[in-house]
Amino acid sequence: MNRLRKKAINEMILVVICCVIMLFCFGHMTAMNTQGIEYIFIMLFVGSITGVVAYIKLNKLENKLDERERSIRDAAAKYSYMVYVGYTMVFSMTSFFLVGGKGNIAVWTLPIMFAVGLLIAQIVQSMYIIGKCPEELDDE
């Protein structure tokens, strides 16, 4: 398999795992109404996992790419960013404007919106890379 494809799939798996852990932690915080030291510990845990994933994404997965692979990756990141901004506009901002505040929107929906946004952005990025990468061709 093309190594850029492999990296795209690995990245998607990493972000899915990260989002699941993030949702679990935020779900626990909301359900238990955590406060004080427990709140700080959970936030530190989520932050450290996100940090490790960001480090792996930025260093381990990108260092070995050549210039064509980087150009594909940059284009994928651009589309991913556009989709994330679009998602935030449509599903987050408009929902608040249409539904309004005053307790109509439950607090637990916010981390879900955030995590789903990250997931969608990563899926768009990985799918763009997978679509753009040519299959391995026979030597000529």
Partner 1 sequence: MSKPVITNNIRRLRFDNGQMTQQALADRAGVTRQTIIAVEAQKYTPSLQLAFSIAKVFGVGVEDVFEVVG
Residue number, 4 or 53, with CB nearest to partner 1: 4
Minimum separation from the CB atom of position 24 to partner 1 (A): 38
140 binds partner 1 (CB under 8 A): yes
Minimum separation from the CB atom of position 140 to partner 1 (A): 7
74 binds partner 1 (CB under 8 A): no
- Tell how far CA 70 is from the center of its chain: 19
* Tally of CA atoms within 13 A in the half-sphere of 121 that contains its CB: 19
Q: Could you tell me how many residues make up the chain?
A: 140
Cβ-proximal residues to 128 (8 Å cutoff; 6+ apart), any chain: 72, 75, 76, 79, 80
Minimum separation from the CB atom of position 68 to partner 1 (A): 4
- Please, are residues 14 and 106 in contact by the beta-carbon 8 Å criterion? no
As a whole number of angstroms, the distance between CA 4 and CA 125 comes to 12
Minimum separation from the CB atom of position 129 to partner 1 (A): 12
Q: Which of 68, 81, 90, 99 binds partner 1 (CB under 8 A)?
A: 68
Residue at token pair 């909301």? 30
Q: Which of 7, 12, 69, 76 binds partner 1 (CB under 8 A)?
A: 69
**Interface with partner 1 (CB under 8 A):** 2-4, 66-69, 71, 133-134, 136-137, 139-140
